[in-house]
């Protein structure tokens, strides 16, 4: 397609002013390849180069935010569909209440920590039922007196899993009233892949639950 000479002059002026190739093409509604061809050999001042880089960063950030907004909207739509389908499911509601009380509420991290094997067994079954396609991992935090291998085997048996559960120790506490009361430490179950999705959908369900109360 042939363009008027004035279009090319506009491309050159915008490039010298510090606009990126993509922003020039979008602004003038011309192909990126055409803009790239026309600006070949055009030199920029150091200030214009800095402006080009800054404009590029802003455009990349804007595109990222738009992508995240679309993704969040999709997650919320899925959560609404699940709510309509399972809102009256007792087990579904129990899991929401459990996370409301014991789960992590920040950083878009879907994680629940507890020391009660019954609670964690129930929570693990809930995760496997309602987040089937999400990968989870678990870890233990214990006092120095706890046997790491025994703790790992104990929680593997509770959850019914065979994968490795690492044990981390609280180095600051070696004696005192905390030692001995939790012979297997506390277990955290956290979503690995799909963590933000799980967090946002659980937040949506907690809000829907609060609206009912």
Ranges of each domain in the chain? 5-68, 88-212
CA distance 63 to 123: 37
Has this prediction a pTM greater than 0.85?
no
Q: Tens of pLDDT along 178-201?
A: 555 789 999 999 999 778 999 999
Residues above pLDDT 90, as percent of the chain: 52
Q: What is the pLDDT of residue 14?
A: 83
Question: Does residue 41 register a pLDDT over 70?
Answer: no
- Contact indicator for 185, 141 with CB cutoff of 8 Å: yes
* β-strand partners of 169: 142
First CA to last CA distance, the chain: 63
CA distance 130 to 9: 58
Residues above pLDDT 70, as percent of the chain: 85
């Amino acid at each position: 397609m042939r363009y008027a000479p004035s279009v090319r002059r506009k491309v050159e002026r915008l490039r010298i002013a510090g606009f990126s190739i993509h922003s020039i093409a979008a602004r003038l509604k011309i192909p990126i390849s055409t803009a790239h061809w026309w600006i070949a050999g055009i030199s920029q001042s150091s200030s214009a180069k800095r402006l080009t880089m800054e404009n590029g960063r802003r455009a990349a950030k804007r595109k990222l935010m738009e992508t995240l907004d679309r993704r969040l909207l999709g997650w919320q739509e899925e959560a609404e569909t699940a709510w309509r389908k399972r809102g009256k499911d007792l087990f579904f509601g129990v899991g929401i209440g459990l996370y409301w009380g014991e789960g992590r509420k920040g950083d878009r991290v879907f994680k629940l920590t507890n020391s009660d094997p019954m609670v964690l067994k129930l929570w693990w079954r809930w995760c496997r039922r309602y987040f089937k396609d999400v990968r989870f991992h678990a870890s233990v935090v214990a006092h120095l007196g706890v046997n790491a291998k025994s703790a790992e085997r104990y929680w593997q048996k509770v959850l019914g899993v065979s994968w490795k559960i690492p044990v981390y120790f609280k180095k600051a506490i070696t004696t005192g009233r905390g030692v001995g009361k939790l012979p297997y430490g506390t277990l955290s179950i956290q979503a690995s892949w799909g963590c933000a999705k799980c967090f946002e959908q659980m937040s949506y369900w907690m809000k829907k639950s609060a609206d009912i109360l």
